[in-house]
Amino acid sequence: MKEREIVHLPNSELELMLIIWEADGPVTRADIEAKLEDPTKWGPTTVLKFLSRLVEKGFVSCESQGRRQMNRYTALISEEEYLSEESKSVIGRLCGRSMTSLVANLYRNQSIDDTQLDELQAFIDETRRRER
């Protein structure tokens, strides 16, 4: 069976996907619009255009329900699947697949601090303990 390819989403489409994932079930365009961070930059036509793109890319399904045939959108790709693919892609593009380079760069640029490094170390330690 061929593994499906998960493409990188532009920020606008990702913003809609985050809302759909958070809903954890079918949502309407109106449900999505109610959750947008800056609804003034989004009109109903724009939201529908981006939802249509997400359907074309295989991220969501669209099903008409009810007497008024209201479209409901459901995630076909989980947030975890997308995050996994995006993480691999970012590390590959920016750091030549070196996690050490990525973390070192984040630390040098003060994007992460000592507390976050400690959390990462605790995660590594706990993961290794479980694997033994």
Contact 47, 29 (CB under 8 A): yes
State both tokens at 33: 């619009």
At residue 2, the pLDDT reads 45
* Domain spanning 11-75: CATH 1.10.10.10: yes
State the DSSP H helix or E strand holding residue 73, giving kind and residue range, or none if neither.
Answer: strand 70-75
Which segments of the chain belong to CATH 1.10.10.10? 11-75
At residue 3, the pLDDT reads 57
CATH code that applies to domain 79-131: 1.10.4040
Which residues lie below 8 Å from residue 103, measured CB to CB, with a gap of 6+? 112, 117, 120
Tell me the pTM: 0.72
CA–CA distance, 72 with 65 (Å, rounded to integer): 7
Residues of the chain with pLDDT under 70: 1-4, 66, 94-97
CA–CA distance, 26 with 63 (Å, rounded to integer): 9
Which segments of the chain belong to CATH 1.10.4040? 79-131
What separation in angstroms does the CA of 52 have from each of 16, 20, 93? 11, 14, 28
Beta strands 70-75 and 60-65 are antiparallel
DSSP summary character for residue 76:
S
